[in-house]
Amino acid sequence: MRPITRRSAILGGLSATTLTAACGNGIGSAGADRIDARVAATVDFMQQTFPGTRALRETSRGMLVMPLVTEAGLLTFGGAYGRGALLVNGVTVDYYSATKASVGPQLGAQQYAHVLFFRTDEALAEFRTSPGWVAGADLTYAFSNEGQTFSTDSTTLTSPVVAVVFGQTGLIVGATIEGTKYNRIIP
């Protein structure tokens, strides 16, 4: 067995990310209109399916909606890609891509949606001014319990950024956005 070098890990991650970019939400799509339509549908679905997210939306300074993230992994390399929009006061202010590369044993593919709720002006400003914001381990998740409700406790309500991940379909167990990098794009 050939050892994994840094170069092969990076090239494999880039290959997996490139492959997932071709899964209907990447290069060649209809641009801003398609993203806006998907964002609106995702927000409507989220609020109808998980009414507990309404309080997060109403009290957040902004929210990044990623309607469709495609993630795939083959043997030791994987990646994810999606596009979405940042909403401030219900209006799209910027478009973003989400990319993630991973190394380790993996096999399968999945799609999911997620929304980042920016709870403070500082968190929103840091996200908008960074040259590439990465979701870290300090991100707070509002977990789904009992199938149709989201748990929002005092920790969730006081965290600067809260993530809601939903709509998972596919063959990879679980969906996490830790390590996902968000970059501003022009659709």
- Mean pLDDT for the chain overall: 80
At 137 the pLDDT is: 66
User: What are the E-state strand segments in 19-90?
Assistant: 62-88
Exposure string of 150-162, with b = 16+ CB inside 10 Å and e = fewer, is: bebeeebeebbbb
Q: What is the pLDDT of residue 76?
A: 81
CA torsion, ordered 128, 132, 137, 138, to nearest 10 deg: -20
pLDDT tens digits, 129-171: 998 899 876 678 776 544 445 555 545 557 899 999 998 888 7
CB neighbours of residue 70 within 10 Å: 21
pLDDT given for residue 30 in this prediction: 64
Query: What is the Cα–Cα distance from 147 to 118, expressed in whole angstroms?
Result: 24
Q: Rounded to whole angstroms, how far apart are CA atoms 50 and 166?
A: 9
> Residue 136: what pLDDT?
78
Q: What is the pTM of this model?
A: 0.77
CB 125 within 8 A of CB 17: no
Question: H or E element: which one contains 48?
Answer: helix 32-49
**Is the separation of the CB atoms in 17 and 80 below 8 Å?**
yes
Query: Domains of the chain: which residue ranges?
Result: 6-185
**Rounded CA gap, 115 and 56, in Å?**
10
Can you give the pLDDT at residue 139?
76
- Phi first, then psi: give them for residue 176, nearest 5 degrees: -130, 145
So what's the pLDDT on residue 77?
85
Nearest to 21 by CA among 67, 71, 63: 71
Residue stretches of the chain with pLDDT short of 50: 1-2, 4, 6-26, 145-148, 154
> Cα(187)–Cα(173) distance, rounded to whole angstroms?
30
Task: Please give the Cα distance from 158 to 43 (Å, whole number).
Answer: 22
| Contact predicate 38/68, CB 8 Å | yes
